[in-house]
């Protein structure tokens, strides 16, 4: 029988095997005392199974409160638990309740983080996955051989549709590939989405008519169900080529529903992920979290960037981006590197990921360039040219004043 | 201008005021360097505002990794930050991205938890809130003057529709008010929801025809959007009186959408909440988290129970239940106390909440009663009778053998 495999990092005051068995019981057919009907046969058919336990270090204080009994040492282990697909059917909502539901509250653990998740082919077949991914995005943007370079409309909040359109028009003229709304900007009174789409796409289409290059704009359509559909259709009708959703805000069914009726790539914003993952012993690591959204059908997914302004270390960013670029049931998702990015991280990003199949987004790192946004974009292209040519930035900057200015400003 | 007020508990290596200003800037019109267009006027109109800072204790080690700079002390504070409603409009998805988005990743904090959230009346007016709440649930169940007593179908996974129906039928005969599916049981191959509803409602309706009492069954309809609608209609058509959704699995838009087209109370399951809240310095506390779901329209919401089998302390459970019972823009939600519950917690539950406007769910604490489920239900009613009469359980148990047996089994 096909099974889902969930890998956890746990910490526990008891034997890690017993803790793992508790998780397996709680999340399949068990309860806190054995009840009539919970037969051995039923356990054999529907029980979750502990597949592997790798004991790790021990610590002398619990990472999370409420573990019982109190102990002198708390043992950490990586445990893999499998669940029969029969228990849930190919359902993302039930999968979520099973592998990331009540178990975080178990008193048998003082730490529990879902670090990896694998679903069988029958599960993946029930969901469409990304419709565009890397290839579709390259086709729509016309960008080949380098990352899709983009920015976020800033200020995050407060621009009128016309002001946004002027900014996007200027960025298009400067050669940008991609622009996205901030996750804070969806459909507020001062910039209704329909008006913003109309104004921005007028500028984008005019630029495309002149140059043949259509800037991809990810309009933030995160909203109620019917409104998301309407927003998507508004973007499509205006000639737009991308929609964005804040994944944790909209939830899995809304995203999957949008994907099934969408004709545009879905740019997945991960805001809120920090709450799920900043603590090393609690929550859901990016790799596991992304599995849900990949199945639901995102095309692009934010991973943070190297030397970002947030808490996250480069190792983690690299692991996230690599996870998305690793085929899952035949599909990959385009990683979106952003936060505190400028030309300076291009060489290390290329060296560590070994690909240009990514989006490279800069806010202040482009818009606040001393030579203006056009010079900011030039500096980013130059940074990636240097990375691809294997030349040190300092060296390349000698011949490229925009890159040199960027290094003076941001380095 | 109307504002949303979010209260956080933060921990930071820098001055808490500066950290609070960073949060306010990041989550309104700021970026990491000031960009053209971010004028003082725009800041005044759209900027988030730090309304209050109450400094708390300091600690010598950071609770979460990645805070910068390293410091000798990490200062904790409660900070209230307000956001113009103009920034987001009355949108739950944008509210979520604003008050619980990227800010968890900020390097300026080593701890950040959203502990309270208040939205202005214009925001609440855009959402329907609960359609049934306490009053509607009492009307549908016919239960007055005591809690709605219920159970969860156990084993959690594996029963066929007919086996589930036999169990529910027996529980109805024994006098139970409410039964719910486990959150792990939605629409799996071995118990398709449509078949389960048909079988279970046949038993429930037959019992109602005989006795005039219709047991409320919360069928777990968590699923994709169109399927949730279909499941709801299946339950309604079969004479059912409740549907259940795993809130973190289905997401806000799906829940609000369901609410707008539903004719039945929505039983909100909070599984996954532990991942958002088990760490004291990270995530979203129940009270704040519940605001989103109350606006979206849940009628019942799980709060855990006293002396539960999970990590949570009684103080926290009581605070959660009280929060739901406190009117928010005129509506209350029925708290659902469950996990390790039996008759034993009735007196303390009543003493601490001062009401019977709650659901009291027992799994093993009812089904595993040595006298069988009927005796289990009798013991629960007796426990609540004792609580309402202000009599010690031990005393009341002398006259009530089922309660006495329960105390021998579970105490």
The answer to whether A31 contacts B256, with C-beta atoms less than 8 Å apart, is no
pLDDT at B32 over 50: no
The answer to whether A184 contacts B156, with C-beta atoms less than 8 Å apart, is no
A-interface mutation test, from B94, B228, B257, most A Cβ less than 10 A away: B94
Distance (Å, whole) CA B25 – CA B14 = 16
Distance (Å, whole) CA B178 – CA B176 = 6
Chain B: nearest CA to A396, how far in angstroms?
Answer: 25
Pairing mode of beta strands A111-118, B216-220: unpaired
Q: Which two tokens stand for residue A56?
A: 């790790």
User: What are the residues whose beta carbons fall under 8 Å from the beta carbon of B241, sequence distance 6 or more?
Assistant: B140, B141, B214, B216, B217, B264, B265
Q: What is the ipTM of this complex?
A: 0.96
- Residue in chain A closest to B304 (alpha carbons) equals A105
What would the mean pLDDT of A3-21 be, rounded to a whole number?
97
| Nearest Cα to Cα of residue A411 among B141, B202, B19, A397 | A397
Q: Which two tokens stand for residue A347?
A: 């060489």
DSSP assignment letter at B147: P
- Residue in chain A closest to B372 (alpha carbons) equals A36
* A340: nearest CB among B32, B275, B276: B32
What would the mean pLDDT of A303-330 be, rounded to a whole number?
97
Reported as type and span, the H/E element at residue B325 is helix B314-325
| Nearest Cα to Cα of residue A184 among A214, A218, A158 | A158
What would the mean pLDDT of B272-278 be, rounded to a whole number?
97
Handedness of CA B186, B189, B190, B196 (dihedral sign): positive
A-interface mutation test, from B111, B170, B249, B409, most A Cβ less than 10 A away: B249
Which pLDDT tens digit goes with each residue over B129-161?
999 999 999 999 999 999 999 999 988 889 999
**What's phi and psi for A291, nearest 5 deg?**
-60, -40
**What's phi and psi for A99, nearest 5 deg?**
-95, -15
Distance (Å, whole) CA B338 – CA A365 = 51
Please report the pLDDT score of residue B34 as a whole number.
57
Phi-psi region of A89 (alpha: psi -120 to 50; beta: other; left: phi over 0): left
Asked if B358 contacts B337 with a C-beta cutoff of 8 angstroms, the reply is: yes
Q: List % helix, strand, coil for chain A (3-state, nearest 5).
A: 45, 20, 35
The answer to whether B28 contacts A157, with C-beta atoms less than 8 Å apart, is yes
Reported as type and span, the H/E element at residue B210 is helix B193-211
Distance (Å, whole) CA A63 – CA A345 = 34
| Nearest Cα to Cα of residue B380 among B139, B178, B169 | B178
What would the mean pLDDT of A7-22 be, rounded to a whole number?
97
The answer to whether B279 contacts A64, with C-beta atoms less than 8 Å apart, is yes
How far lies B24's CA from each of B64, B83, B84, B178, B290, in Å? 20, 8, 11, 45, 22
Which pLDDT tens digit goes with each residue over A221-279?
999 999 999 999 999 999 999 999 999 999 999 999 999 999 999 999 999 999 999 99
- Residue in chain A closest to B45 (alpha carbons) equals A158
The answer to whether B283 contacts A275, with C-beta atoms less than 8 Å apart, is yes
Mean pLDDT of all residues in chain B? 95
Q: What residues are paired with B266 via a beta bridge?
A: B243
Contacting residues of A for B42, CB less than 8 Å apart: 155, 158
| Inter-helix orientation angle A92-99/A286-296, to 10° | 160
Which pLDDT tens digit goes with each residue over B71-86?
999 999 999 999 999 9
What would the mean pLDDT of B354-376 be, rounded to a whole number?
93
Handedness of CA A262, B188, B361, B208 (dihedral sign): positive
| Nearest Cα to Cα of residue A26 among A104, A80, A88 | A104
What would the mean pLDDT of B33-47 be, rounded to a whole number?
73
**What's phi and psi for A216, nearest 5 deg?**
-85, 125
* A35: nearest CB among B31, B154, B249: B154
Place of tokens 């409104």: A227
The answer to whether B188 contacts A94, with C-beta atoms less than 8 Å apart, is yes
Asked if A369 contacts A349 with a C-beta cutoff of 8 angstroms, the reply is: no
At residue A87 the predicted structure's pLDDT band, cuts being 50, 70 and 90, is very high
Please report the pLDDT score of residue B39 as a whole number.
76
Q: Which two tokens stand for residue A196?
A: 């913003």
A362-A367-A370-A372 Cα dihedral, nearest 10 degrees: 130
Burial (Cβ within 10 Å: 0-12, 13-18, ≥19) of residue A391 = middle
Which pLDDT tens digit goes with each residue over B153-202?
988 889 999 999 999 999 999 999 999 999 999 999 999 999 999 999 99
Handedness of CA B353, B354, B359, B364 (dihedral sign): positive
What would the mean pLDDT of B342-351 be, rounded to a whole number?
98
Q: Which two tokens stand for residue B193?
A: 């929801």
Distance (Å, whole) CA B137 – CA B188 = 28
* A104: nearest CB among B28, B67, B274: B274
Please report the pLDDT score of residue B45 as a whole number.
86
Reported as type and span, the H/E element at residue B300 is strand B300-302
What would the mean pLDDT of B339-366 be, rounded to a whole number?
96
Distance (Å, whole) CA B240 – CA B40 = 57
Distance (Å, whole) CA B362 – CA B367 = 8
Please report the pLDDT score of residue B35 as a whole number.
57
User: What are the residues whose beta carbons fall under 8 Å from the beta carbon of B252, sequence distance 6 or more?
Assistant: A249, A250, A251, B92, B93, B96, B292, B293, B296
At residue A30 the predicted structure's pLDDT band, cuts being 50, 70 and 90, is low
DSSP assignment letter at B331: B
Burial (Cβ within 10 Å: 0-12, 13-18, ≥19) of residue B243 = buried
How far lies B246's CA from each of A67, A113, A333, B188, B296, in Å? 25, 20, 27, 15, 13
Contacting residues of A for B284, CB less than 8 Å apart: 275
At residue A32 the predicted structure's pLDDT band, cuts being 50, 70 and 90, is very low
What would the mean pLDDT of A308-333 be, rounded to a whole number?
97
């Amino acid at each position: 029988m096909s099974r889902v495999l969930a890998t956890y990092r746990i910490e526990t005051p008891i034997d890690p095997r017993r803790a793992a068995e508790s998780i397996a019981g709680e999340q399949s057919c068990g309860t806190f005392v054995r009840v009539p009907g919970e037969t051995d046969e039923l356990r054999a058919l529907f029980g979750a199974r502990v597949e592997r336990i790798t004991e790790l270090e021990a610590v002398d204080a619990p990472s999370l409160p409420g573990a019982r009994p109190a102990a002198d040492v708390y043992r950490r282990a990586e445990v893999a638990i499998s669940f029969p697909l029969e228990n849930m059917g190919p359902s993302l909502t039930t999968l979520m309740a099973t592998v990331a539901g009540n178990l975080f509250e178990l008193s048998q653990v003082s730490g529990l983080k879902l670090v990896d998740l694998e679903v069988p082919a029958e599960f993946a077949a029930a969901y469409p996955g990304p419709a565009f991914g890397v290839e579709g995005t390259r086709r729509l943007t016309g960008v080949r051989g380098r990352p899709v370079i983009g920015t976020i409309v800033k200020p995050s909040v407060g621009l009128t549709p016309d002001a946004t359109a002027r900014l996007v028009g200027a960025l298009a003229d400067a050669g940008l590939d991609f622009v996205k709304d901030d996750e804070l900007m969806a459909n507020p009174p001062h910039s209704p989405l329909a008006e913003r789409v109309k104004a921005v796409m007028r500028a984008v289409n005019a630029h495309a008519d002149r140059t043949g290059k259509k800037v991809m704009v990810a309009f933030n359509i995160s909203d109620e169900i019917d409104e998301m559909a309407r927003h998507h259709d508004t973007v499509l009708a205006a000639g737009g080529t991308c929609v964005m959703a804040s994944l944790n805000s909209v939830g899995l069914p809304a995203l999957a529903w949008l994907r099934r009726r969408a004709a545009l790539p879905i740019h997945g914003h991960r805001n809120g992920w920090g709450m799920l993952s900043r603590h090393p012993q609690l929550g859901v690591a990016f790799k596991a979290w992304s599995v849900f959204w990949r199945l639901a059908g995102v095309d692009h997914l934010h991973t943070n960037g190297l030397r970002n302004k947030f808490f996250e270390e480069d190792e983690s960013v690299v692991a996230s981006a690599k996870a998305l670029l690793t085929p899952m049931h035949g599909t990959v998702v385009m990683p979106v590197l952003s936060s505190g990015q400028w030309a300076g991280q291009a060489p290390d990003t290329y060296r560590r990921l070994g690909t240009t199949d990514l989006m490279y987004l800069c806010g202040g790192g482009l818009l606040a360039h001393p030579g203006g946004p056009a010079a900011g974009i030039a500096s980013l292209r130059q940074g990636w040219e240097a990375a691809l040519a294997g030349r040190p930035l300092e060296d390349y900057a000698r011949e490229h004043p925009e890159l040199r200015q960027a290094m003076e400003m941001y380095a």
